[in-house]
């Protein structure tokens, strides 16, 4: 749950039957809510999204908006601040090699704000920028907690799938 500031965020649990509507970032993005946003031509995050969305749509990857802007799109509650960044997620069910990750980073280099992209692998999320970098291991956020891994598409023993 979110409040007006980061300090007002609160974790919570709800029974599944109490959830009346579910919007994942990919479904949310398909409706292109940024096109109707009142600050579309003024806020750096929305300007960046308007510029990047057509580029992302040319890729064979599903993508979505997360973070404060995703929350705002889903709830209608104002969350954007002058210092906000653009948080995106890319569905990386299939492995993305490091070279492809670096090419994606280049796409976002001209954005009007900081862009933070997570790759959502079957084993957990990793930062696109970290995967595109030179570090041998990356931090992967999993359902059981964070782990360092060389192969984000493989299981806990880092065996199996080798990206590209």
The residues, ordered by sequence, that sit 6+ positions from 146 with a Cβ below 8 Å of its Cβ are 139, 140
Residue given tokens 């040319």 in the structure block: 58
Give dist(CA 88, CA 114) in Å, integer: 11
| Helical ranges in the chain per DSSP H | 25-30, 44-57, 67-75, 98-108, 128-132
Q: Output the six-digit token pair for 19.
A: 């959830």
Q: Is 112 helix (H, G, I), strand (E, B) or coil?
A: coil
Q: Output the six-digit token pair for 73.
A: 């799109």
Q: Is 137 helix (H, G, I), strand (E, B) or coil?
A: coil
Query: Mutual orientation of helices 44-57 and 98-108 as an angle, nearest 10°?
Result: 140
Give dist(CA 27, CA 129) in Å, integer: 24
Q: Which residues are catalytic?
A: 85, 87
């Amino acid at each position: 749950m979110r409040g007006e500031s980061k300090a007002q965020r609160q974790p919570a649990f709800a029974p599944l039957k109490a959830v009346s509507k579910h919007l994942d970032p990919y479904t949310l993005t398909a409706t292109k809510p940024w096109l109707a946003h009142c600050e579309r031509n003024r806020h750096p995050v929305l300007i960046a999204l308007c510029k990047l969305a057509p580029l992302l749509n040319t890729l064979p990857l599903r993508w979505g908006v997360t973070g404060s802007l995703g929350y705002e799109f889903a709830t209608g509650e104002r969350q954007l601040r002058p210092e906000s960044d653009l948080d995106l997620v890319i569905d990386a069910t299939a492995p993305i090699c490091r070279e492809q990750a670096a090419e994606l980073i280049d796409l976002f280099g001209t954005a009007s704000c900081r862009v933070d992209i997570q790759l959502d692998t079957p084993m957990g999320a990793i930062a696109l920028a970290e995967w595109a970098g030179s570090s041998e291991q990356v931090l992967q956020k999993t359902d059981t907690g964070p782990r360092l891994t060389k192969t984000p598409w493989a299981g806990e023993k880092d065996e199996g799938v080798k990206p590209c």
